[in-house]
Amino acid sequence: MKIIDKIGHFKLIRDSRDFVVINELGDYAAHAHFKTETGARDCIRLINKGLLPRNEYYRKACKRLLFQHEYEQLIERKKEKYINVNRGIRR
């Protein structure tokens, strides 16, 4: 296990199979596994921005990494619906 980076109170570790993000403030259960380093960094970036990920896997990872009161404070982003005005009204 090799420590790649430390971002805030999260440690990014390269395991033999995957990447592991560990919350240093939590206990043993406060860790999550990712297939890619980019995915692990994205999850940490969203947590630091205070945003709840749209991806279900990332949501479960955030729930494992954070305490209950921290997870509830994350803001869920709403995607604006795109309407092509040039199509006209469809019935």
Q: Where are the beta strands (DSSP E) in 1-91?
A: 2-7, 10-14, 19-23, 31-34, 51-52, 75-76
Structure confidence by residue, pLDDT tens digits, 67-76: 999 998 988 8
What integer pLDDT is reported at residue 76 of this predicted model?
A: 86
Mean pLDDT of 29-34: 93
Residue 81 scores a pLDDT above 90: no
Residue 91 scores a pLDDT above 70: no
The span from the CA of 62 to the CA of 57, in Å, is 9
Which residues, at least 6 apart from 14, have a Cβ–Cβ distance to it below 8 Å?
1, 2, 4, 37
Residue 30 scores a pLDDT above 80: yes
CA-based Rg of the chain, rounded to a whole angstrom? 17
The span from the CA of 44 to the CA of 52, in Å, is 11
Residue 50 scores a pLDDT above 80: yes
SS3 49: helix
Which of 11 and 84 is assigned the larger pLDDT? 11
pTM above 0.85, yes or no: no
**Confidence category of residue 90, pLDDT binned at 50, 70, 90:** low
